[in-house]
Amino acid sequence: MIQIIPSIASADLLNIAIELERCKEIGYLHLDIEDGNFSPDITFGMDMISAIMQNTKAEVDAHLMVTNPLNYIIPLCENNVTRIAVHLEAVMYPAQCITLIHQMGRKAGLALNYKTDINQILPYMDEIDYVLLQTCEAGDNNLQFKEYSRNKIRQARHLLPEKVELWADGGITDQLLYELMKDGLDHAVMGRALFGSKSMMELYHTMMARDREDKLYEL
């Protein structure tokens, strides 16, 4: 079954406590941490992350879209983030970050920009817990899912060991979700589709019900 994860960066950040309450039943939360350098936007600093963590019981993962991810790992772990994905393009020695994340007792992922070839993760497949694929490009005005990403998801699922989870983030809609599940996606990070909905939980339960129906049909 695919897991849907709300991305809080797409919420109404002027009312973040209300937004956390809206999605609390899902039990998962995604933090896009952008520094305005590696990525053109700026999202959450550590003070804001601490405030979010103090006001949620969700299992939280962090996607580090920053130039110096090593500096963030220990503070994030101290704030009880359970999974951390580091961009392959941001570090000279990815294994250093992967090792530190594991030493802190957390799950380690590698994130890939939209244009990065999936084969770049091959040297690290035995060291990581998940791969996070960007399915649109940071800085794109529309932030729409790019169709080429479906091929990349299929390629990744073929290359990755079964134990390595496959995640995707960027412009995923409820209409796309089921096709991506068939392509082999395990976790779908969804921001605007969820937080832009008038009834988030109704949409979430509808999507999960369809996922269960598809699984039963396959059996």
Residue 138 has what pLDDT? 77
pLDDT at residue 144, as a whole number: 87
What is the pLDDT at residue 209?
Answer: 87
pLDDT tens digits, the chain, 219 residues: what are they? Answer: 899 999 999 999 999 999 999 999 999 999 999 999 998 889 999 999 999 999 999 999 999 999 999 999 999 999 999 999 999 999 999 999 999 999 999 999 999 999 999 999 999 999 999 999 999 987 666 778 999 999 999 999 999 999 999 999 999 999 999 999 999 999 999 999 999 998 999 999 999 987 665 553 343
Residue 169: active-site member: yes
Max Cα distance, the chain (Å):
47
In 3D space, the residue among 35, 42, 31 whose CA is nearest the CA of residue 5 turns out to be 31
pLDDT for 216: 38
The pLDDT assigned to 191 comes to 94
Please give the pLDDT value at position 141: 63
- Active site includes 174? no
Catalytic residue among 61, 169, 183, 186: 169
Domains of the chain: 3-218 (3.20.20.70)
Question: Can you give the pLDDT at residue 214?
Answer: 59
For residue 130, list its beta bridge partners: 109, 165
Nearest to 172 by CA among 157, 160, 151, 187: 187
Q: Which of 32, 35, 61, 186 is catalytic?
A: 32
Cβ atoms 83, 106 nearer than 8 A: yes
